[in-house]
Structures are given as C-alpha cells and as structure tokens.
Amino acid sequence: MTTPPPNQNDIQNGAGSSPPRQQTVALVDDDRNILTAVSIGLQAEGFATRVYADGETALKALLENPPDLAIFDIKMPRMDGLQLLQSLRAQSALPVIILTSKDEEPDEALGLALGADDYITKPFSQRLLVARIRAILRRSELVRNPPEDAPGDEQAGTIGRGRLRLDPARHQVTWNDRSVSLTVTEFLILEALAMRPGVVKSRNQLMDAAYNDDVFVDDRTIDSHIKRLRRKFRSVDPEFAAIETLYGAGYSFADG
C-alpha cells in the first residue's frame, strides 16, 4: 500500500544514516500516482524529493530553494512543463529532465531547444530514470559546489580564449571578466567549440559533445542552443561575435 506524498513538501529518505550531502530531486506532475511512485523509487536510491502538482507553484519554489535537479511533466494545467522550463531558464541554470509521451516528439525537440538537459518518454523504467539523473548530476554537481581548495587558473585546466575564460572544474564561464550563467548543455557545446578555436564543428559533433549517446535531437536543437549562447553573451557584451556560423557546415569559435 502506498501513501501519496505530501504536496509541496520535502519527502525525506527514511534511511538511518544519510550521505554527507543528500542530493534533492524536484518532481512536477499533476498525476499524484506518478509523483508517489517516482518519489518512493528515488528515495530508495538515496535521493531526497520534493513534489509539486502544478507549474506555477513549482516555479516559485524552484527559484527560492533550488534542488539539484528537476523533472517536469509536459502536460499540466495552469502552466505546462514547457512554459515552466522557459520561465525557469530565464532565471536559472538548474538541470532539468522533461517527461513526454510517445506521441509528443515535437515537444521533446522544443524542450531540448528551450534548455532541458534530457528527456524521458513515458512509460519509463525506474532504472533508466535513475541512470539519467545520475549522469546529469555527475556533470553538474560542481556548478553548485565548486571546490574551495582548487588550484589556480592554469593549474586547474582553465581554458582561456581571448576574452573568454572557461573553468570546467567549477563549471564557470566569464567574458571580459563578467560571469555568464550557462546550463550544463550550453557549457558543453561552448567547451567543444572553444577547445579548438577556428575549427568548424558540425551539428552532429556538437550533439555528441552535449548529449548522452541514447538522446537523439534534431539539428535545429543545436541551432537553438547556439542562439541562446549568443544571446547570453550579448547580454554582457552587445558586440559579442565569437561564435561563428559556417552555413551548411556548422559552427566555430573565433579566438580573439
């Protein structure tokens, strides 16, 4: 017998001892059966969970008290998952997985274009969901908890390209010494371009750099990420033009 999780509250893992820093996953879905099942499954894997039954309530909570990762269903009342993602991305780089149905392929592409880090098609296995969550958290954990004793720029492997500075260890980006907040996916695309300035990277190569092998995205999704990257950099420098397009071939980073 399962008991529905309390709405809008943390659900704590019942284990007697907790790890040094328990990671938290927020679930947003209007289906309480899914919230209950997924919450119980994630707790069994050592996660703490928070649950929200609508997008409007979730958005406020996610911004005020961010978890480590959020999972959104697309079809919800008041504010659907794509609207929630778009509103969240205007203010946060929180890692996000979206849940879609088999007949919602356009929503999958739009969700990735809007900045989702991954998507999972319903029905899904708990094992798959946990694997995807852990893969994203491995890439993004240092965004929230940069090491205090990490060595200096060059020793830490910081990438300097003209006015751009990328710190993969801390997942930090600056342009002209001004911070630029990127999602995990955006960071990986930018890093792939900056590693070899002047070399044109095809959309397929950028997809390989940014997504897991079992995530398939449309070429236009990479184009959308590039547009978002340019927009973010132009918010700190209106003259930013370091990401160049070679039509029909791909993108490159101009080191200068």
User: Please, what is the Cα angle at 77 between 11 and 134, to 5 degrees?
Assistant: 40
3-state secondary structure of 152: coil
Structure tokens at 255: 């080191």
| Phi/psi of residue 4, nearest 5 degrees | -55, 140
pLDDT digits (tens, 9 = 90+) for 121-157: 888 888 889 988 887 887 665 444 444 544 444 445 6
184-195 and 126-144 helices, crossing angle to 10°? 70
- Same domain? For 23 and 102 the reply is yes
Q: For residues 163 and 160, what is the distance between their CA atoms, to the nearest angstrom? A: 7
- Same domain? For 128 and 210 the reply is no
The answer to the question of residue 1 being in a domain is no
- Same domain? For 169 and 133 the reply is no
So what's the pLDDT on residue 2?
Answer: 40
The answer to the question of residue 150 being in a domain is no
Of 90, 112, 144, which residue is a domain's last? 144
For tokens 């720029």, name the residue.
Answer: 153
Q: Which CATH number characterizes residue 47's domain?
A: 3.40.50.2300
The answer to the question of residue 177 being in a domain is yes
- Same domain? For 78 and 182 the reply is no
- Same domain? For 138 and 21 the reply is yes
- Same domain? For 17 and 96 the reply is yes
- Same domain? For 97 and 183 the reply is no
Q: For residues 152 and 154, what is the distance between their CA atoms, to the nearest angstrom? A: 6
Q: Which structural domain, as residue segments, surrounds residue 187?
A: 159-253
Q: For residues 227 and 115, what is the distance between their CA atoms, to the nearest angstrom? A: 11
pLDDT digits (tens, 9 = 90+) for 174-215: 999 999 988 888 888 999 999 889 999 998 888 888 776 555
